[in-house]
Amino acid sequence: MKTAIWVRHNRYIKTIKRHRINWIFVLVLSIILISFIYLTLSVKNIQIGYQISEALELQKELIETNHALKLEWSQLTSPRVLSRKARVFGLVPPQEIIKIK
């Protein structure tokens, strides 16, 4: 856009070039930028979704492992199992236990 500058007595001095904003260009650029941001966030969302799923699976596995270990410990320290193993080693419960003090 050109703007002409006129002074008093209608004398033409010079012409200034003013830049015209291309609104269509700005709109398209904005759409692209917003889409890009949305896309990035969407991809991040999916990644986090995967991470949450994996974390839930991991938590499930860890709880399961924890329970399995507790079960194994209980089975190994069960009085029945211990007394059976003691008998294998020839150990017998004492006939009488007398506490003096």
Partner 1 sequence: MEIKTRIILILGLLAAIGSTILWQAFRLQVLNQTKKGEVLKFSLPPKRGIIYDRNGEVLAITLNAPSVYACPCQIEDPYKTAIFLSKALHLKSKILLKRLKSGKNFVWIKRWVSDRELKRIRGLKGIGIQRENRRYYPNGPLAGQVLGFVGFDGYGLEGVERQFDNYLRGKSGYYYGIKDARGKIIISPKFPFRPAEDGYNLFLTLDHRIQYAVEEALARVIKKWHAKAGYAVIIEPHTGEVLALANYPRFNPNNFRRARAKDYRNHVITDTFEPGSTFKPILAAAALDRGVLKPYDIIYAENGRYRIDDAIIHDIKPFKWLSAQQVIVYSSNIGAVKIGEILGKKAFYEYIKRFGFGQKTGIDLGGESKGLLRPVRTWKRVDAATICFGQGISVTALQLATAYAAIANGGKLIRPFVVKRIVDNKGKIVKVFKPKIRNRVISERTAKRLREILREVVLEGTGKMAEIDGYEIAGKTGTAQKPKNGYYQRNKAIASFVGFFPASDPKVVIAIIIDEPRPIRYGGIVAAPAFREVALDIIWKWHLSPCISPIEMTRILQSKQVAKKE
Give the alpha-carbon dihedral of 79, 82, 84, 86, to 10 degrees.
Answer: -130
Nearer to partner 1, 13 or 100 (CB): 100
User: Cα(7)–Cα(73) distance, rounded to whole angstroms?
Assistant: 100
Count of positions (residues) in the chain? 101
Instruction: Tell me: does residue 45 bind partner 1 (CB under 8 A).
Output: yes
**What is the smallest separation between the CB atom of 89 and partner 1, expressed in angstroms?**
18
What are the residues whose beta carbons fall under 8 Å from the beta carbon of 92, sequence distance 6 or more?
86
Task: In angstroms, give the least distance from the CB of 29 to partner 1.
Answer: 13
- What tokens appear for 37 in the block? 């941001």
16 versus 40: smaller Cβ distance to partner 1:
40
Q: Which positions touch partner 1 (CB under 8 A)?
A: 32, 35, 38-39, 42-43, 45-46, 48-50, 52-53, 56, 63-64, 67-68, 70-71, 73-75, 77-80, 96-101
